[in-house]
Chain A
C-alpha cells in the first residue's frame, strides 16, 4: 500500500440521463470517505451547463478547477481520473487520461459500443495503467458472497442464471435503459458464471415512458459450457416503497449441478415500517466504496483491475448483439474475441 493518498481529478459531471451526475452523487462521496484517495482537482467538459458545475464544486472543495479538461490531465498531483463525461466524449477523455499517464475510473458504461470499448482496452493495455469500469453492483455484499460461493463450488457446476434488475422511478435515460442499466446485471451474471456469452436473443420494449428510448429489455444469453441465463432489466414507474431511481427488484438465481443459490440484493436490510412510508437501511461499505478499494489496490500494486476493459467490452458486445437480435427477432451469435473475459 502506498503511504500517501492517491490524488483524484473529478472529470465531468454528465451521464446517460439528462440529470444524471454520478460524479457528485456517487464517486465524490465515496472518494471523500475513502482514506486512500484525495480529490485534488476538478475539470469539466465544455458541453452544456455543466461547465459551471465544475467551478462551483472546485470552490466548494477548495481545489483548483482546470481551465480545460485536457489541462486537468497534466496536473502531476493527479494519479487517478474519475471520468463522468458525456457519452460522446467518453472514449476521447479516457484514452487521453491514460496517455497522460493517469489511472482511470470510468462511469458506466465505459463506452456505448463494443468498437469503442475495444479502443479503450487497447490504450489501457498499451499504457499498462488501471482502467476500471464502474461495474460496482458486483461488489454488493450479497453478490460478493454469491460470487465466492459459486466459485467455491457450493452449487456445483452452474448451468443457469435468472436475473432481474428493475429500477423504479427516476429520470429515464435518452440512450435507453438497456444501455444505461444493462451493464449492471450483465456484469454480475458474467462474474457469477465466469462464462463468456456466445449467443444473444433479446426483446427490447417501452412501457412506462414517452419517447423512443427503451425501458425494458429481456435478454436470453447462451454462455460457454452450455450455461444459459435470462436477464430482465429496465426502469418502471415510481413505487411507494422504493426510493426514486432505487431498485424495486434486484435478484439472481443460480442453478447448479448440485444446488440452487438465490440472491436477493434487496437484502441485507433492516426493514422499517411506518405510518407514512416504509424503508430499509443497512450499514457497511457501499458498492462504490468497494469499487474504490479495488481501484486503490490495483493502482498501488501496479496491476490491472478486475473488472477491467475486457469486461466492459464483453458487456458492450452483448448489448450490441441484443439490439441486433431485437431488430431481427432471432438469436445473434457473438464473434470470438481475442480478449478474454473473466
Chain B
C-alpha cells in the first residue's frame, strides 16, 4: 500500500514548472540543487519506493510532498514533469508511466538498458507529445562545451582521432550497490560508459559504425561489472575514438580527465595536469578543480528549453538512443572479444 506525506501538494498557479524527482538516491541531490537555482522550475515532490528515504528527502528539500506511489505524484495537476534517478533497469517502466500521464521527463543516463526498450520510451513520448531527454550531464560541463565549441569552430579541422579518459577510484559503497549488479545497471558500459561514448560522438560529429571494447575487473575479481572500460569507436568518416572509463584506478582518490583530439588541421588537448591547480600537502599531491558552472543546472536549463520547444534540443532522443546502442555494443564487444557493429545493435539481430 502506498504511503505519502500529509502535506498537501499544490502550488497551482505558480509560473514555474512543477517537477517531481523519482528515486531519492545520490544523483537526485544534484538535480534537486539544480532545481533550487532555477526560476523556471521547482521541486514539487519526491517519489521513492522507500518511504523513509522519500520522507527524508522531502523534509530536506524544505517540506515538499513525498510518496511511494508514482501514479499518485503524476496525477497531481501541479506536477508537470519528472526527473528520474532510479536504477537503470527501471527506467523504461517509469518513463512509460510518465509519458502516459502526459508529463515531461529528464531521465538519468542511460535512457534504458537496451535498444528496443529505449525505442519504446521514445515512441511513448512521441505519442504523448511531451519531451524526453536523457541526462548525459557531461555534455553540459564547461570542459565538454569548450571542447565542442573549439571543434565546432574549426580549431582542429575535421577530427580524426580522439581520446577521452575519465579515471577514478572506487566510489560505489559495497556489494549491495545496484550499480555493481549488471542485471540492474546494464553493465558499466551502459551505466558510466555511455557518458564518454555520447560525448566523443558529439565532439566528432560523425556516425559511429562499430565499437571494440575491453573490460577489466580491476578492483575485485568477483565484480559482475567491468570497473575499467576501454572502448574504441570507429566512425563513418574514418575517425576513431578511444574512451576509457575507470572506477578501478589507484589511488582511490585519483580524479582524472584527459582529452586529446587530433584533427586534419591541428591538435586540441586538455591534459591531465592542465585543468586545475596542484595542491601539495602532508597527505600528498592533489588537483584543485577550478570553479565551474553547475553542469546539472545547465542541463536543467537545456531540458526546460526543449520542453518550451524553442531551440533544438541539446540532447535529443536520437542521441540518447545512439548512446544506449553504443553502450550495448561495448558490452557485447567485451563478451565476444571483437568489434560489434552499431547496425547490428540497432537492428537487434545478432551477427
Q: Which residues of A contact B (CB under 8 A)?
A: 156, 159-160, 162, 164, 166, 201, 203, 205, 207-208, 216, 218, 220, 222, 226, 228, 230, 232, 236-237, 239, 248-249, 253, 255-260, 262, 264, 329-331
Contacts and interface: CB of A to CB of B under 8 A. Distances in A.
Contacts of A218: 161, 232, 240, 242
Contacts of B230: 160, 220, 228, 230
Contacts of A208: 264
Central interface residue in B228, B262, B339, by most chain A CB within 10 Å: B262
B224 to A, nearest CB: 18
A208 B262 CA distance: 11
Contact of B251 (A216, A236, A259): A259
Interface stretch (B4-12, B72-80, B142-150, B210-218): B210-218
Central interface residue in B161, B165, B167, B256, by most chain A CB within 10 Å: B161
B41 to A, nearest CB: 40
Size band of the interface chain B makes with A: 35 or more
A66 to B, nearest CB: 44
Contacts of B244: 162
B234 interface: yes
A146 to B, nearest CB: 15
B182 to A, nearest CB: 20
Given A159-B216, A228-B230, A262 B272 contact: yes
A258 B250 contact: yes
Interface string B258-272: 101010111101011
A207 B261 CA distance: 14
Contacts of B167: 255, 260
Interface in B327-351: 337-339
Contact of A201 (B212, B249, B262, B266): B212
Main DSSP-derived SS at the A contact region: strand
3 closest Cβ contacts across the A-B interface? A207-B160, A330-B338, A258-B250
B339 A330 contact: yes
Given A216-B161, A239-B266, A260-B249, 6 more contacts: A162-B244, A228-B216, A232-B161, A232-B242, A253-B258, A264-B271
Contacts of A236: 262, 267
A331 B262 contact: no
